A and B are shown apart, each in its own frame.
Chain A
């Protein structure tokens, strides 16, 4: 069974940057689209970004477009999320999730999730 382990979160000031990482194991990472989903304290889940198996297609929530950048390294079985110009409203637990198919278009479920990495933005 597959496993995802996120890292890179922390407490930062507004305007700072962070790079989140997600290490995958137990499945053929390069065959699947990957996603980031976040959950703000006391709130629900929010899809943040997704990337196709070959990095050709990426997508972002309107709330982070132009601010966050998703990438992956199939050789390292790793997914990344670069967070720039962080704002207090970006405070959340960030989950890495595996898509059920190779594309982010017509995505139909996230079947493996990590435990998340916490990002706190405050002055």
Chain B
């Protein structure tokens, strides 16, 4: 069981927007603005798409956005493209000795 809770799957049609939630606790997401999101195509290296809750690394499309409210962070992908179909993981810094916790991952299907 992962420390952060994500839906196992979400889906959307091309052009639509989807949101993936990531729920933690007051020891991780609720305590720090240190939430990251990763896109992971199987067989490839995971890619950082959001850091510090809502910041995009250079080269990441503005269609990807992040937010946080309380113990829950969210990733929104707008204007879905077929190549957005992938696994998405959230992570957060945590005050526990583990330092970093991940969500279980969400499989995005573009219909």
Contacts and interface: CB of A to CB of B under 8 A. Distances in A.
Interface in B41-62: 44-48, 51-52, 57
Interface residues of B, number: 26
Interface in A58-112: 59-62, 65, 95, 97, 100, 104-111
A113 B45 contact: yes
B38 A106 contact: no
B32 A106 contact: yes
A61 B51 contact: no
A47 B91 contact: yes
Interface string A8-41: 0000000000000000000000000001010000
Given A47-B101, A113-B45, A114-B45, A106 B93 contact: yes
A66 to B, nearest CB: 12
Given A100-B51, A111-B48, A44 B100 contact: no
Interface of A: 35, 37, 44-47, 50, 59-62, 65, 95, 97, 100, 104-111, 113-116
Interface of B: 2, 32, 34, 36, 38, 40, 44-48, 51-52, 57, 89, 91, 93, 97-105
